Every structure is written in C-alpha cells, then in structure tokens.
Amino acid sequence: MSKLVSLLFLIVIMISACRKDERITTDTDAKLSFSADSILFDTIFTSIGSTTKRIKILNKNAGALNISEIKLSGGNASSFRLNINGQNTLGTTNLILNGQDSINLFVKVTINPDAKSTAFLVQDSIILTSNGNKKTIQLLAYGQNAVFINNGNIDKSTSWTKNLPYIINGAVTVKNGATLTVEPGAKVYFHKDATMNIEGFLSANGSPNAPINFCSDRLEDAYEDEPGQWQGLYFKQNGGGVIKHAIIKNASVAVTSDSLSANANPKLILSNNVIKNMQVAAYIGYHSELIAFNNLVYNCGNYLIYAIGGGKYNLKQNTFAGINPNFPRKNAALTFSDYLSAKAYNKLEIELTNNIIWGDLENELSIQNKPGIAPQNKIIRNLIKTTATNFTAENIINADPRFTSKTSANFRVSNGSAALKQGVDLSGDPYFNSYLNKDLTNTTRTFPSTLGCYENF
C-alpha cells in the first residue's frame, strides 16, 4: 500500500512539473474569459473600506497565456486596490495562467473623505493585457460622507439631522440629563458590534415619509438582511425615550431596557416602527416598562418580546410575526415572566389589546407567573396562536391571520382574515390622539379596527 501511495505522489509531482513548463501560446486569438465585465460597490462611507469582491479570470485555451500586465488605470491615485495571489497591489506583470485554469482577482475600495454631503461616484478600471489583447473591467462605487462618532459621550442636548449619516464605532452614550433628538429622515449607522447607551433621553421622532434608520453601516446587498451586525439600543437605569416612525434592523437585540421609569413619565414608547432581523430579540426587558403601539416586529432569533423580572407592558395594535426563515426558534415570540430568580419575583402587569401574535410555533404567547400570585393582565381582542386555554373568552385563538405574503414580509392581512374589523374601540385611550389614531402607514384608524399594525378597509 505504501508503495502505491509513493507512486501516486510521484505521478502528481511529474504532472505538476509538466504544468510549470506548459507551452505559452502567443496566438492573438487565444483570449481570456472573465466572470464579470464590471464591479459595482454599493454605498461606501468615506474612510471605511468596502467588502471584497471577486472576478474570476479564466484561460479556456489549451496552452498557457502570459498576462503581460494587470493594472489599475488610476494607479497610485486610485481608491481601489487589487489582491492577486494573496498580495495587495496596484497591479502585476507577466503572470502565467495555464490552459484550462483560472485565477481569482479580488478588488476592494476605500473612499477618502470628501466635502460633498450627497452621494457621489468613484470610478476606475482594471486593465489586463495578454497577447496584444486588452480587456477593461469597469469599477464603480457610490461614496457618502458621514459624521463619525468613536466611543463618544453626548453630555448636553443635541440634535442629529438628515444632512449626513451618523456612523457609530464602539459605543455612544447619551449621558444622564442630556437629550438626543434624532430628526425625521436621519440615518444612524452602527459599525460592527457598536451600540448606543441611553442614560438620558432619546427622542427619535421620524415621520411616515421620512422614517429614521437605525441599522448597520454595511449597505451592500449581501448585508441587507443579515442579523447581529451591531449590538442595539440600551436604555439604562435613568434612561428613557420615544421612538416613532423608525426602522430598526440587523442588530443582536434592537432594544434592551433594564429598569422601570425613574419618574412619572413612561420609560419607553415605541410607536409605528418596523423592527426586524434581530439575532436574539427585538426587545429584552429586565423588570422594565414598555409602551408599544402600531409596530411591525418580525424575524428575530429567539424572541420578539422577552420581558422577565416583572414590569409594566402596554402593547396595542401591533403585529408580532414570529416568522423565522433563518432561525430555528424554540421559544414563544412573546414571553413574559415575573421571576427574578428561583426565589424572587416582581409584580408583572400586562395589557395586550388588538394585537396579532402569530408565528411558526404552536404557542407564541407565554406568560409565567409565580405560583400563588394572581396575574394582573388585561388581554382583549388579540389574534393569538397558542396552546393555552385561558385566552379564549375575549380573543381570537388559532385563526390564521392570512398575511398577504410571509415570504416577501408583507404582513398586511388578506380578505377573509379573522383579524378584520375585530378591534375594540381605543378612542378613549389616553394615548389615542398621540399614537393610536393612525396605523403604521399613517392611515386613520376606524373602529372596530383591524387587528395588528395595519388598518384595512
């Protein structure tokens, strides 16, 4: 057996030696082939490098070809860089490519800071020459300036506008006593594993036509729906906020809150937001307080809402869709508990009204109370997917809401849905005029309303 292995090894060495000495053709009809004629990079923020993209160069001819030159047309001034055979470079010469073989050419772009406030174009090209044949591969990147914040503190009231995106690297902390106002249309992007800590107050009030974006700074298509790219928003002991008409996506946990309100005002109000693609959860509360109206929440790794250690939760007209194409989720989408530990618990108050609570599991609502403690819950006119038997009196149980298209994330309900015109009248609610009179798309609510975040007529 060992002799056979030695013989095979010798044959491989001989074949490799033959390939090294393969005849190089000078025929001008012997041309290279390419996997692409151009490369487009999505928006790249100034001074932040792009992802790496690849072009495959193929020699489909019988004989070897000498690629006499590969170079960037822009030379040293180019914003692009090449990687050939593991070497970062502006180009190379006399690269031998054997017949019926290929090589990968990698391209990356870093855009230098620029005075422009709007998106701008950066262009160059790769020029390859072989046997007198010249091939040009176009390179195009969209660049964008931004305000860069590296592990900074906001210790006085500050406003962020829509003029330039904000890029957070590390952590930014809104200090106690300070208010960060994020204006409609603003874009707040987070570099890998970045976070925002709120010890003061976050006022993020977008509008239906100009929502606020909280997401990763990777805007390439490959990262569009990738969870876990940044850490999320963390409301600490004295922190509070209002987030309305925002898109929060692709974090580990969208919102974490670790306490009740420090004063008579609500700890946190989430209204008319889309929260999606979280690695762990959309919201995690530790003995905390949440008011949530007209939100669409879906595609999160373990939970949509995870609230433990008691607290206060007022959730109305939300669509909670535990639809998880990429996550093997095992826990109820909405999970509440009064437990702090095996021996300690806190008061838990839950108000659920006019919501859709649906998903891939048999049970999508779990409320865990310490034995002997009477629940203080008001659960009225929700459509719930559940195996429990104590919600049946005033709720719609296990009736498919008939979402328009789960695969394309269209969570409006279709004609014939059990959620149509089933909601109780909320016009007397203290939050009606401020938050509940319009749905997620700013459509006026009429009662009995359609359950969930969208009003249907």
Whole-model pTM: value is 0.81
Specify the amino acid at residue 438: K
Per-residue pLDDT of the chain (457 residues; tens, 9 = 90+): 555 545 444 444 444 444 555 789 999 999 999 998 888 887 778 777 777 889 999 999 999 999 999 999 999 888 899 998 888 888 899 999 999 999 999 999 888 766 566 667 788 999 999 999 999 999 988 888 888 898 989 999 999 999 989 999 899 999 999 999 999 999 999 999 999 999 999 999 999 999 999 999 888 777 888 999 999 999 999 999 999 999 999 999 999 999 999 888 999 999 999 999 999 999 999 999 999 999 999 999 999 999 999 999 999 999 999 998 777 788 999 999 988 776 667 889 999 999 999 999 999 999 988 776 666 789 999 999 999 888 777 899 999 999 999 989 999 999 999 999 999 999 999 999 999 999 999 999 999 999 999 998 6
Distance from C-alpha of 200 to C-alpha of 172, rounded to nearest angstrom? 12
- Parallel, antiparallel, or unpaired: how do β-strands 268-271 and 403-405 relate? unpaired
Contact 25, 64 (CB under 8 A): yes
Strands (E), 294-384: 296-300, 303-316, 319-322, 334-337, 348-353, 356-359, 365-368, 376-380, 383-384
Distance from C-alpha of 10 to C-alpha of 260, rounded to nearest angstrom? 74
Contact 33, 58 (CB under 8 A): yes
Distance from C-alpha of 280 to C-alpha of 265, rounded to nearest angstrom? 28
pLDDT for residue 118 = 63
Q: For residue 136, which phi and psi values (nearest 5 degrees)?
A: -115, 125
Distance from C-alpha of 66 to C-alpha of 368, rounded to nearest angstrom? 71
Residue 370 burial (C-beta neighbours within 10 Å; 0-12, 13-18, 19+): middle
The single-letter DSSP state of residue 436 is: I
Structure-token match 């959730």, residue found: 315
Distance from C-alpha of 35 to C-alpha of 67, rounded to nearest angstrom? 17
In sequence order, what are the beta bridge partners of 284?
256, 306
- Parallel, antiparallel, or unpaired: how do β-strands 403-405 and 410-413 relate? antiparallel
The SS3 of residue 263 is coil
Cis-peptide into 371, omega within 30 deg: no
pLDDT for residue 82 = 93
Distance from C-alpha of 428 to C-alpha of 229, rounded to nearest angstrom? 41
Contact 358, 453 (CB under 8 A): no
- HSE-CB at 325 with a 13 A cutoff on CA atoms is 8
Closest CA to 312 of 248, 260, 375, 241: 260
- Tell me which H or E stretch contains 77: none
In sequence order, what are the beta bridge partners of 54?
106
pLDDT for residue 12 = 45
Sorted by sequence, the CB contacts under 8 Å of residue 51 that are 6+ apart come out as 41, 108, 218, 220, 222
Residue 51 burial (C-beta neighbours within 10 Å; 0-12, 13-18, 19+): middle
Three-state SS annotation for 394-429: CCEECCCCCEEECCCCEEEECCCCCCCCCCCCCCCC
Structure tokens at 154: 């906001």
Angle (nearest 5°) at CA 60 between 59 and 61: 95
Distance from C-alpha of 23 to C-alpha of 327, rounded to nearest angstrom? 53
